[in-house]
Amino acid sequence: MSENQVPAVASVNAVEKFGDDAFSIVSTPSSFLPRVQVMGGNSDLVIHGKIGVGRYALIRGKEQFDDLNISFDCLVLAWRPKAMQITDDAVITCFDHTDQMFKDIMAESEKKDSGCMYGPEYLVWIPSMKVFALFFMGSKTGRREAPALRALLGKAATLRTKLIESKQFSWHGPVVSACSTPFDIPSQEEIAQEVEKFLNPPKDDVEPVEKVAGDETRAR
């Protein structure tokens, strides 16, 4: 073996000049922010044993996610109305609550397994992950708890999950409370940039459907 060759099982003293923040920026597959989701029993990640039911997941892509446990802290930055329909071929998203498409999706959401959801979507900063993320409260359970998150705009919040039981079903939903634990936040310039983009989305959007791990179209 030449002195310049490295055995397959060898270890070398590699040097990293840049840190996790730099790597996260350049390794992100797209400009879309990751999203936070409560993992229910129908979630792909739960079904495949990759995460436990009733936990929060930070979904970064089809095969990429972070387990946020049963609770996590965040800074609540802004909210916007959102309606979404998932079909076999596409994901249709509308942010204009006065648009007929938005109203149609709202009406369809009352039908079982329609793939339609609507509700407030929040922009949050998650200090444990050092990332901005989206939290769409598009189920009936999410919409009921959404005012509690709106009341904490500009403040720190703790999101937990709770088990909800009816005579026929049981599922997990979010619970919002104020957070008293101090944590680091981005600069005001970074926050302002993300809020500006978040509050000025396209009127509506149609994307090819991608079965991202964790998607649930039957959220209660």
b/e map of 37-53 (b: 16 or more CB within 10 Å)? bbbbeebbbbeeebbeb
For the record, the structure tokens of 216 come out as: 């649930």
Q: How much is the pLDDT for 209?
A: 57
Q: Cβ neighbours of residue 202 under 8 Å, at least 6 residues apart?
A: 95
Q: What is the pLDDT of residues 136-180, one digit of tens each?
A: 999 999 999 999 999 999 999 999 999 988 877 888 999 999 999
Q: Are 115 and 109 within 8 A, CB to CB?
A: no
Q: How much is the pLDDT for 16?
A: 66
Q: Cβ neighbours of residue 44 under 8 Å, at least 6 residues apart?
A: 211, 213, 214, 215
Q: How much is the pLDDT for 43?
A: 82
- Strand, coil or helix: 74: strand
Q: How much is the pLDDT for 164?
A: 87
pTM: 0.81
Q: How much is the pLDDT for 217?
A: 41
Q: How much is the pLDDT for 30?
A: 47
- CA contacts within 13 A on the Cβ side of 4: 0
Residues in the chain where the model's pLDDT stays below 50: 2, 4-11, 29-30, 211-219
Q: How much is the pLDDT for 77?
A: 98
Q: Is residue 195 packed enough to be buried (19+ CB in 10 Å), middle (13-18) or exposed (0-12)?
A: middle
